[in-house]
A and B are shown apart, each in its own frame.
Chain A
Amino acid sequence: MRAATGWRHRVRRLPVAPYLFIAPNLLLFSTFTFLPLLFAVYISFNEWGLLGQPHFIAAGNYARIVEDRLFWRALGNTVVYSLGTVPTSLALGLALALALDRPLPGRSLIRSTFFLPVVISGVATAVIAAWLFNDNYGVINAVLQRIGLPKVNWLSSPSWALPSLVITTLWVRLGFCMVVYLAALQSIPSDYYHAAAIDGASRWAQFRYIVWPLLSPATFLLLILNVIYSFQVFDLIYVMTGGGPGFATTMLVQYIYQSAFITSEMGYASAIGVVLYLLILGFTVLQWRISRQAQNAL
């Protein structure tokens, strides 16, 4: 009797309101993200062409990944693309934020101009970039020819296709990195700079010992987000190169799409998707630990 009263008491004390508030989001998240994620894991152990019935093959798809040269090529391309885009977009974003964090005529307009590609849809950006880089009538080649330089097969040469994508990505991401760094810079109290100046610290010393350490949470956030964006790149590739020439720009998500909807190997595509998920998760956890150690050391 006493136990029953205690149970009722506990139920009455349960904080219902927070659950009610998160319920709509939780419901949508479960329906459109979490359950499909679980279904993808289930499908990764099956052979399924989408039109027929799934056929259980245990870890067959994962065994195939190990031997699939194209998977490793796509992973390699994704890593190279990430190395080309993540550090550079962070460095350029920071440089831009530092430059635009001081009073300048037309500062808001310049900031908005750099941020504009972030708000345009990825496909629209890719279409514009494809026009700019077009071998035959692109603006970039026209400028090169005007100044007496030869044309470059930007998107159709295996050596230039990936750099062209990296340049386009930087154009898109620069504004995002700039805005995050600007917000972080503006949250640093000006007293720190004044105190450092009184102590005779140079501009570089101020940046090295005050700004950079205080920007580390923003840097960590941008690093994680940019790595995720780079590993999940799809729209840019799909519109600009279709994964070619050859396999020069075939990335993991492009390969997943091709396996799922072009060759109708939904099980194999899901298995690669699971591997990609684990890779991103592993990298995020690793970065998290490194970041925490660095903060503890401060």
Chain B
Amino acid sequence: MQQNQRKTTPHLSRRTLIKAGIGAYAALSFGRPARAQSPTRLNFAFWGQQPEQEGFNRLIEKYQAKNPNVAIKAEIVPPGPQYYQLLDTRLAGGQGPDLFRVQYQRIGKYAQNRAAVDLSRYLDKDFGAGFGSTFWAAASFEGKVFALPHHTDTFGLYYNIDHFEKAGLEAPKSLDKSWSWDEFIKAARRLKEKQTAPYPFAMHWVLSNAYRWLPFLYQHGGAMLDADFKSPMINSKTGIETIAWTQSWFKEGLVPANTSIKGTEATQNLFANGTISMLLNGNWQIPFLNEQMTRFRWGVTYMPRDVAMASDLGGNCVAVSKDSKNPEVAADFLKFIASEENMREFIIAGQFLPVRKSLMQETIAFKVRPELMPVFVQQATTIPEHMARTEVLPKWSEINVKLNDELDLAFTSGQSPEATAKNLETAVKQILAA
């Protein structure tokens, strides 16, 4: 009997015990949220206006209250090129922050170079299902996710109500009644004729944000790249016509000359002080205008449209850097800030739009001019998926530089739309082939 028992009892070797131990640890680790057991310090680099900074700081405080062992240091950096210059230099030196905020248009570069950590191992398989597909795709590269979408924003048409009344204009009241290109230009000419302001309008693509020109291309039925994102499509009838249309704004004096792509003019100031009667800009300007535009009444309507509707893909995601010594805790913080409750709190603070499906259906109680936000919420539904996927390609940064150069030449230096489209086609071909 004893002999039989000995035979049937499984022999536990040291190796089996170790394997079992690792398996049990893994099962426990993956089955529970990553909580730092020992004191952990994280650095979180981001930029932002005051409301955004306060929004992030509040989320950090909440997370630290729940996780007393974790200390998160906010590193607030000036926005724009300086932010990415600093980030890239730190990453090159192996001193990157644990977490960094990044535009959807730029995450591809960090993913391709593995400067951001693949988050897939920290997320449930269906985690992405809760996010809008455009934003989840923007944060993904080669089937893996390298950042969590955090919020979005888009463009609308701000208008000066006093100037509109003087010119006898009425802004469209619904998305399906949004102005066509012709109606928009007619309104601009009427404002010019009535001399309501020195210029009828301006578009906020200054400081080399040429990608914001793309919605006009898509509105006209065009695209920057083909369906497979392999070849340029810009040197086409739609591309040339869109360049010509936007160039005509400058030729006709409908927009201030210094609001071209390489301009440094703050277009929101021009709108606030009455230099322009209409402004194509993003929803994040609402708090600024609410505070600064005291001499005029103002409202927001929808972007103009042509054969299609389209608007800008704005907003940011947050990534964990390759240099993080605690990627698991950093990923846990990411999941925390991207949760439904915290995303709602942040977008209310910063006047942004949500990227979680559940919140997209919800009527968010924004604090400043809440009656205007539904315009942007509806406009966000017109962001073309193909455009979004184009803008998040790893090589988009390089394409954007060429778009800056060529469009600025067309708008300020008289370069023909045909030459502009041809130069862009050549440049994009070279970039994609490299």
Binding site for B on A (CB under 8 A): 49-52, 130, 134-137, 153, 155-158, 239-248, 258, 261-264
Indicate if the CB atoms of B264 and A242 lie closer than 8 Å: yes
- Asked, given contacts A51-B110, A51-B113, whether A262 binds B264 with beta carbons under 8 Å apart, the answer is no
Task: Give A125 Cβ to nearest chain B Cβ, in Å.
Answer: 15
Indicate if the CB atoms of A244 and B401 lie closer than 8 Å: no
Q: Is B13 an interface residue (CB 8 A)?
A: no
Binding site for A on B (CB under 8 A): 81, 84-85, 88-89, 91-92, 109-110, 113, 115, 198, 207-208, 256-258, 260-265, 270, 273, 275, 397-398, 401, 405, 408-409, 411-413, 415
Task: Give A145 Cβ to nearest chain B Cβ, in Å.
Answer: 11
Indicate if the CB atoms of B258 and A155 lie closer than 8 Å: yes
Indicate if the CB atoms of A158 and B88 lie closer than 8 Å: no
- Chain B residues lying within 8 Å of A263, measured Cβ to Cβ, are 397-398, 401
Indicate if the CB atoms of B257 and A156 lie closer than 8 Å: yes
Task: Give A141 Cβ to nearest chain B Cβ, in Å.
Answer: 11
- Asked, given contacts A246-B413, A261-B81, A263-B398, whether A50 binds B262 with beta carbons under 8 Å apart, the answer is no
Contact partner of A244 (CB less than 8 A), chosen from B81, B263, B398, is B263
Complex CA–CA separation, A156 to B262 (angstroms): 9
- Chain B residues lying within 8 Å of A264, measured Cβ to Cβ, are 88, 109, 397-398
Complex CA–CA separation, A65 to B257 (angstroms): 32
Contact partner of A241 (CB less than 8 A), chosen from B92, B264, B409, is B264
Indicate if the CB atoms of B264 and A240 lie closer than 8 Å: yes
Contact partner of A242 (CB less than 8 A), chosen from B109, B198, B208, B270, is B208
Among residues of A, the one whose C-beta sits closest to the C-beta of B406 is A246
Complex CA–CA separation, A157 to B411 (angstroms): 10
Indicate if the CB atoms of B412 and A245 lie closer than 8 Å: yes
- Chain A residues lying within 8 Å of B412, measured Cβ to Cβ, are 156-158, 244-246, 248
Task: Give A157 Cβ to nearest chain B Cβ, in Å.
Answer: 7
- Asked, given contacts A51-B109, A242-B208, whether A153 binds B258 with beta carbons under 8 Å apart, the answer is yes
Sorted from nearest, which 8 A-B pairs have the closest CB atoms? Answer: A244-B262, A245-B412, A51-B113, A156-B258, A246-B413, A156-B257, A261-B85, A246-B409
Indicate if the CB atoms of B270 and A136 lie closer than 8 Å: yes
Indicate if the CB atoms of A157 and B398 lie closer than 8 Å: no
Among residues of B, the one whose C-beta sits closest to the C-beta of A261 is B85
- Chain B residues lying within 8 Å of A157, measured Cβ to Cβ, are 257, 412
- Chain B residues lying within 8 Å of A244, measured Cβ to Cβ, are 260-263, 408, 412
- Chain A residues lying within 8 Å of B91, measured Cβ to Cβ, are 50-51
Task: Give B263 Cβ to nearest chain A Cβ, in Å.
Answer: 6
Indicate if the CB atoms of B401 and A258 lie closer than 8 Å: yes
Indicate if the CB atoms of A261 and B84 lie closer than 8 Å: yes
Indicate if the CB atoms of B113 and A49 lie closer than 8 Å: yes
Indicate if the CB atoms of B405 and A247 lie closer than 8 Å: yes
- Chain A residues lying within 8 Å of B413, measured Cβ to Cβ, are 158, 245-246, 248
Complex CA–CA separation, A51 to B275 (angstroms): 43
- Chain A residues lying within 8 Å of B409, measured Cβ to Cβ, are 246-247
